[in-house]
């Protein structure tokens, strides 16, 4: 299909937008095997104008997932490999002297894109990590006192390795809180891994998504229509109270030193609305909140050292809270 023609003909149509975004799963599956939850999480983040932290061991197709999403949405994407010697200007851009005009001109950095893949973000020093904060929160970059707006849509998908901590700089809580979702990318099942190897044996090249058959099935106009529809998704006072009760329960958990902030509660409400709309409803139910609680909240809480030593995880704490907080009827 020609996304340009389709989007022009149906811009502002929520039904068409939902169908287009649902088609993303099938399209991305042409390149990435068995990562439906991560695909859904990235779409939810785009609908909420949020950012995503992808955590998984090397080799589970985190980079390929973001590239396939960009291709299927016809969005521009850039990748930055974060290293200990990376400077903030390497991400945001800098002023460059032009000898012909004897003036400085701004050279945009890789952050000026739609989908920025920040690979191994915890391998770069805090100063460079912080250079992303303004871009993520304000959707602009200020260089030499001049704010420069970023393209729309704009999403940062940052990756980190959960098992290798030597030579890394863990993200501070304030920056973790800027990520809407933390998605864990698991190792594939046996059958999925067989499918991956079979594809490679048949000539699949992860660097050539066009050859794999990945085509644009949605575009910026679909995203705008979808965002407008999500904003109209009804939230009852009972659901709002339920979200608040879940988040407040994390602040009272004996296993945690840090609970979910009000920003986290706002994020959970936003992701639940997006999920409700994606599943075909114009109102939120408790199951929507439960479905998005783990990826929205797991990076916003901090375990007590003694609880961690006993094998308690962020996910197990949130799951226990969801089981005990009364659900509105």
Residue 210, class by beta-carbon neighbours within 10 Å (0-12 exposed, 13-18 middle, 19+ buried)? exposed
3-state secondary structure of 77: strand
Q: What integer pLDDT is reported at residue 170 of this predicted model? A: 83
Q: What integer pLDDT is reported at residue 218 of this predicted model? A: 86
Q: Which has more confidence, 319 or 162?
A: 319
Which residues are 142's β-sheet partners? 147
Radius of gyration for the alpha carbons in the chain, expressed in angstroms and rounded:
21
Helical segments of 218-261, H only: 220-231, 237-251
Q: What integer pLDDT is reported at residue 269 of this predicted model? A: 97
Spatial separation of the C-alpha atoms in residues 168 and 165, rounded to whole Å: 5
Spatial separation of the C-alpha atoms in residues 280 and 14, rounded to whole Å: 10
Which tokens is 70 given?
């960009």
Q: Is the pLDDT reported for residue 86 higher than 50?
A: yes
Residues 50, 90, 146, 139, Cα dihedral to 10°: 0
Question: Do residues 131 and 93 touch, judged by C-beta distance below 8 A?
Answer: no
Which tokens is 326 given?
């009364």
3-state secondary structure of 110: coil
Q: What integer pLDDT is reported at residue 7 of this predicted model? A: 40
| Strand ordering across the sheet containing 52-55 | 77-81, 115-119, 155-160, 52-55, 181-184
Best CA proximity match to 232, nearest among 6, 4, 12 = 12
Cis peptide before 177 (omega within 30 of 0): no
Spatial separation of the C-alpha atoms in residues 238 and 181, rounded to whole Å: 24
pLDDT tier, 220 (very low <50, low <70, confident <90, very high otherwise): confident
What stretch of H or E contains 128? helix 126-138
Best CA proximity match to 110, nearest among 87, 138, 137 = 87
Range name among 100-104, 116-120, 229-233 with the lowest pLDDT average: 100-104
Q: Region 4-12: what's the mean pLDDT?
A: 43
Which residues are 269's β-sheet partners? none
User: Locate tokens 């058959």: which residue?
Assistant: 213
């Amino acid at each position: 299909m020609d996304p340009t023609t389709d989007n022009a003909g149906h811009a502002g149509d929520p039904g068409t937008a939902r169908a287009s975004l649902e088609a993303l799963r099938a399209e991305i599956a042409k390149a990435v095997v068995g990562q439906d939850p991560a695909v859904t999480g990235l779409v939810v983040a785009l609908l909420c104008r949020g950012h995503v932290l992808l955590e998984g061991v090397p080799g589970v197709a985190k980079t390929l997932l973001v590239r396939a999403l960009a291709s299927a949405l016809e969005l521009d994407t850039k990748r930055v490999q974060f290293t200990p010697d990376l400077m903030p200007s390497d991400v945001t851009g800098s002023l460059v002297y032009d000898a012909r005009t004897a003036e400085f001109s701004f050279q945009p950095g890789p952050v000026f894109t739609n989908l920025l893949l920040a690979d191994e973000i915890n391998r770069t020093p805090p100063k460079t990590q912080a250079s992303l904060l303004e871009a993520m929160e304000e959707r602009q970059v200020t260089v030499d006192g001049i704010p420069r707006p970023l393209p729309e849509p704009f999403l940062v998908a940052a990756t980190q390795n959960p098992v290798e901590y030597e030579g890394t700089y863990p993200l501070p809580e304030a920056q973790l809180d800027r990520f809407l979702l933390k998605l864990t990318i698991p190792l594939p099942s046996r059958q999925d891994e067989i499918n991956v190897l079979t594809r490679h044996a048949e000539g699949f090249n992860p660097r050539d998504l066009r050859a794999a058959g990945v085509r644009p099935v949605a575009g910026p106009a679909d995203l705008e229509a979808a965002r407008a529809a999500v904003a109209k998704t009804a939230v009852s006072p009972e659901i709002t109270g339920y979200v608040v009760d879940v988040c407040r329960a994390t602040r009272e958990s004996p296993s945690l030193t840090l609970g979910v902030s009000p920003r986290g509660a706002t994020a959970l409400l936003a992701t639940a609305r997006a999920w409700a709309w994606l599943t075909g409803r114009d109102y939120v139910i408790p199951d929507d909140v439960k479905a998005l609680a783990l990826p929205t909240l797991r990076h916003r809480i901090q375990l007590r050292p003694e609880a961690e030593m006993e094998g308690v995880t962020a996910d197990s704490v949130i799951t226990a809270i969801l089981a005990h907080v009364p659900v509105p009827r």
